[in-house]
Amino acid sequence: MISKNFKKKIAEENNESKIIHYAFLKINGSSIIQRSLQIGVDYKANLRRLEYWVWQKEDAQKIKEYLVKNGFKKDVSTMPNVDGSIFEFTAYRKSGIFIAYEEIAPDSNTTKRILYTFKMSSVISPQ
């Protein structure tokens, strides 16, 4: 990640867990290109979690196309929210790999940009 101009920061580290955050920010003319990868390890639960965040719709579209092209099946399900609206959940699955995809709407108090997230968890094999 560092070779791709991401900046590395260890956000948390102790005997039970570790969180590493990689961030990329580039100003290209009048637009900002922003990407973020967070790797979390929970040693006690033997879990690893990856989260990749992008703020450009084009980046998210390229990732979704890559997943489908490489054999991931897109699965969309819906469920009702407490307020009666419908929540849509999208996941990509392949051979026991599950990647959740979500578009997080902007908070009117902070930004007008949508955050596109890809999240994956896996069990760490014992050494």
Query: pLDDT tens digits, residue range 67-121?
Result: 999 999 999 999 888 888 888 889 999 988 889 999 887 766 656 678 899 999 8
Q: What is the DSSP letter of 65?
A: H
* Residue 24 to residues 2, 13, 28, 48, 73, Cα–Cα distance (Å): 9, 22, 13, 22, 29
Quick one: pLDDT at residue 90?
93
| pLDDT tens readout for residues 30-47 | 777 788 888 888 888 888
Residue 50 has pLDDT above 80, yes or no: yes
Contact 25, 32 (CB under 8 A): yes
Quick one: pLDDT at residue 111?
61
More confident residue, 2 or 21: 21
Residue 126 has pLDDT above 60, yes or no: no
Quick one: pLDDT at residue 60?
93
pLDDT band at 3 (very low <50, low <70, confident <90, very high): low
Quick one: pLDDT at residue 27?
83
